[in-house]
């Protein structure tokens, strides 16, 4: 009986991934040329990012976009390292770089949302772009993202992958590519269930209409909370670019402890995805749980092998589709390691979210679930 349940679960999982694959295969609507260059503001919230901030800012300041139409705003969120010094040095070279020191809270906002809200309030752009201090954006980023906006599009979120060089980093890169591509596919098929805040753009008009971060309930995944707020009033549409022009590269976490807290943070934020998000995650959770239980309950080893081979090839095909667009198919060499890692963490994550204690992120601690919100500890 267990063997039949496992095989059925494997087929269901494969069907789900094939559906997502078909969604990503649909041609995206893009404007080939930008008739005019709107004013754009890029906002970066930085907290103790002395190792990353220079690379990030220089990549933004070197994008292929008119300098007189580009404004870069850095929100220095209480850094105690050399971050302010490095930003100040770069500012001397670029008149379109603005620095804001975050020293207070507005509307009881906390953490990154507080920093972003204060920075966005001082922007002049028609479009606001968000990325993180540990990211590097491509020269085509702004033009590429704007090509996904028509007059009805209020917000867009692209794909970010991780720098590689080690197996541990390669697994993370495939993880990000897989999860964000699934999010893009689900968004195209149904409605948004996730996005990434380090590769995001929105109309300032749409941001103001939804009340901005000040009007949102506190969430540890403030990026998705904003994405939902812009799209849920029915006026604004959205886009999920999956292409090389808008691909952002981020730094990996370096330790299992950091990875644990990152996944816990994402998983906790995932509680706000609603029934659709839970349904999407449930199929994968059940299948991977059955795989872990198989050594104890399986009757025929062939059932387990068939399920594993099916999973390996269907996941590989899905990732190949995405990575080919990014010219990153070489990352598939990490697929066997990713598969083992993915099976384990998909099963463990729900238990970590509910029973794993406080979440630590950027030296701040978050504790407890209340109405799907996180309560920040002082």
**Tokens at 261, concatenated:** 């807290």
* Residue 30 region by backbone torsions, left for phi larger than 0, else alpha for psi between -120 and 50, else beta: beta
**Nearest partner of 161 among 224, 226, 246, 228, judged by Cα:** 246
Q: What is the pLDDT of residue 372?
A: 38
Strands 97-101 and 70-76: parallel
Residues facing 376 on adjacent strands: 366
As a whole number of angstroms, the distance between CA 375 and CA 378 comes to: 10
Which long-range contacts link 349-356 to residues 24+ away (Cβ below 8 Å)?
349/263, 349/264, 349/267, 350/267, 350/285, 352/260, 352/263, 352/264, 352/267, 353/264, 353/267, 353/268, 353/270, 353/271, 356/260, 356/264
Low-confidence ranges of the chain (pLDDT < 50): 368-378
Q: For 238, list phi and psi in degrees, rounded to 5.
A: -145, 165
Domain boundaries, the chain: 2-24+263-367, 39-254
Q: What is the pLDDT of residue 358?
A: 64
Q: What is the pLDDT of residue 266?
A: 80
- Is residue 363 within 8 Å of residue 196, measured between CB atoms? no
As a whole number of angstroms, the distance between CA 11 and CA 117 comes to: 45
Whether this prediction's pTM lies above 0.85 is answered by yes
Q: What is the pLDDT of residue 194?
A: 85
As a whole number of angstroms, the distance between CA 293 and CA 296 comes to: 6
Helix (H) / strand (E) containing 91: helix 83-91
Q: What is the pLDDT of residue 352?
A: 84
- Is residue 337 within 8 Å of residue 170, measured between CB atoms? yes
**Nearest partner of 224 among 190, 182, 196, 201, judged by Cα:** 196
The architecture in CATH of the region 39-254 reads: Alpha-Beta Complex (3.90)
Query: What are the tens digits of pLDDT across the range 62-80?
Result: 999 999 999 999 999 989 9
What does each C-alpha distance from 253 to 200, 260, 262, 326 come to in angstroms?
A: 21, 10, 8, 21
Q: What is the pLDDT of residue 373?
A: 41
What does each C-alpha distance from 117 to 123, 172, 189, 322, 330 come to in angstroms?
A: 10, 29, 31, 33, 39
Q: What is the pLDDT of residue 369?
A: 45
């Amino acid at each position: 009986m267990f063997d039949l349940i496992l095989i059925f679960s494997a087929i269901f999982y494969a069907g789900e991934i094939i559906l997502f694959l078909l969604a990503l295969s649909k041609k995206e609507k893009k404007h080939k040329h930008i008739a005019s260059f709107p004013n754009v503001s890029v906002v970066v919230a930085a907290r103790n990012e002395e190792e990353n901030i220079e690379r990030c800012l220089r990549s933004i300041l070197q994008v292929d976009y008119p300098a007189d139409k580009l404004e870069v705003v850095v929100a220095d969120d209480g850094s105690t390292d050399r971050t302010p010094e490095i930003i100040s040095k770069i500012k001397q070279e670029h008149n379109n770089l603005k620095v804001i020191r975050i020293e207070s809270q507005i509307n009881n906002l906390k953490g990154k949302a507080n920093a972003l809200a204060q920075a966005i309030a001082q922007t002049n752009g028609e479009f606001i772009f968000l990325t993180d201090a540990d990211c590097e954006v491509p020269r085509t980023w702004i033009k590429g993202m704007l090509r996904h906006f028509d007059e009805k599009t209020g917000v867009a979120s692209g794909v970010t992958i991780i720098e590689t060089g080690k197996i541990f980093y390669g697994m993370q890169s495939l993880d990000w590519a897989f999860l964000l591509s699934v999010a893009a596919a689900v968004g195209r098929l149904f409605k948004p269930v996730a996005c990434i805040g380090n590769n995001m753009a929105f109309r300032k008009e749409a941001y103001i209409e939804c009340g901005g971060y000040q009007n949102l309930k506190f969430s540890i995944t403030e990026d998705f909370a904003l994405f939902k707020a812009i799209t849920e009033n029915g006026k604004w549409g959205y886009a999920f670019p999956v292409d090389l022009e808008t691909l952002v590269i981020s730094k990996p976490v370096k330790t299992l402890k950091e990875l644990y807290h990152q996944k816990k943070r994402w998983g906790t934020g995932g509680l706000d995805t609603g029934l659709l998000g839970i349904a999407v995650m449930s199929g994968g959770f059940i299948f991977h749980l059955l795989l872990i239980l198989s050594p104890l309950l399986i009757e025929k080893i062939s059932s387990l092998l068939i399920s594993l081979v099916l999973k390996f090839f269907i996941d590989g095909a899905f990732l190949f589709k995405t990575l080919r667009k990014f010219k990153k198919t070489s990352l598939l060499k990490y697929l066997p390691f990713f598969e083992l890692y993915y099976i384990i963490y998909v099963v463990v994550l729900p238990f970590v979210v509910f029973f794993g204690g406080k979440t630590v992120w950027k030296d701040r601690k978050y504790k407890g679930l209340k109405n799907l919100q996180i309560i920040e500890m002082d």
